[in-house]
Amino acid sequence: MKTRFALLATTTLLATPLAAQDLIQPIGEGPFSWDAFDAFAEEYQFDGETLVVLGASTGADKDKLDNLFAYFEEATGATVQLSGSESFEQDIVIAAQSDTLPDIAMFPQPGLAADMARRGVVRPLDASNRQWFADNFAAGSSWADLVTFEGPDGSENIYGTIFGADVKSLVWYSPENFDEAGYDIPQSMEELKALTQQIVDDGGTPWCIGLGSGAATGWPATDWVEEFVLRTQPPEVYDQWVTNEIPFDDPRIVAAIEEYGWFARNDDFVPQDAAAVATSDFRDSPAGLFSFPPECYMHRQASFIPNFFPEEVEVGTDVDFFYFPAYADRDLGQPILGSGGVISVTSDREIAQAFIEFLKLPTAHEIQISQGQFLTPHLGANTDAYANDTQAAQGEILTNATTFRFDGSDLMPGEIGTSAFWQGMVDYQTGASAEDVAAEIQNRWSQIR
Q: Cα 65–135–302 angle (5° rounding)? A: 50
Alpha-carbon span 385 to 371, nearest angstrom: 9
- Mean of all residue pLDDT scores within the chain: 93
Alpha-carbon span 109 to 338, nearest angstrom: 11
Overall average pLDDT of the 33-39 stretch: 98
Kindly report, residue by residue over 216-229, the tens digit of the pLDDT. 999 999 999 999 99
Classify domain 167-336+412-447 at the CATH topology level.
Answer: D-Maltodextrin-Binding Protein; domain 2 (3.40.190)
Alpha-carbon span 106 to 53, nearest angstrom: 7
Kindly report, residue by residue over 322-363, the tens digit of the pLDDT. 999 999 999 999 999 998 889 999 999 999 999 999 999 999
Instruction: Name the residue type at position 40.
Output: F
Judge whether 321 and 173 are in contact, CB under 8 Å.
yes
pLDDT exceeds 50 at position 274: yes
Question: Cα–Cα distances in Å, from 360 out to 40, 300, 376?
Answer: 10, 32, 11
Overall average pLDDT of the 295-308 stretch: 95
- What pLDDT was estimated at residue 4? 34
pLDDT exceeds 80 at position 12: no
Does this model's pTM top 0.85? My answer is yes
pLDDT bracket for residue 16 (50, 70, 90): very low
pLDDT exceeds 70 at position 285: yes
Top-level class of domain 34-165+340-406: alpha beta
Overall average pLDDT of the 406-420 stretch: 92
pLDDT exceeds 50 at position 13: no
pLDDT exceeds 90 at position 257: yes
- What pLDDT was estimated at residue 141? 81
Q: First-to-last CA distance in the chain? A: 20
Kindly report, residue by residue over 228-249, the tens digit of the pLDDT. 999 999 999 999 999 999 999 9
pLDDT exceeds 90 at position 373: no
pLDDT exceeds 50 at position 262: yes
- What pLDDT was estimated at residue 449? 67
Sequence-ordered alpha helix ranges (H) in 138-250: 140-146, 175-181, 189-201, 219-232, 235-242
Q: Domain locations in the chain?
A: 34-165+340-406, 167-336+412-447
- Please check whether the two domains, 34-165+340-406 and 167-336+412-447, share a CATH topology: yes
Overall average pLDDT of the 102-117 stretch: 92
Alpha-carbon span 322 to 45, nearest angstrom: 45
Torsional class of 120: left (φ above 0), alpha (ψ -120 to 50), beta (otherwise): left
Give 321-359 as a DSSP string. Answer: EEE-PPPTTS----EEEEE--EEEE-S--HHHHHHHHHH
pLDDT exceeds 80 at position 49: yes
Kindly report, residue by residue over 145-190, the tens digit of the pLDDT. 889 999 999 999 999 999 999 899 999 999 999 999 999 999 999 9
Please report, rounded to a whole number, the percentage of residues in the chain having pLDDT higher than 90: 89
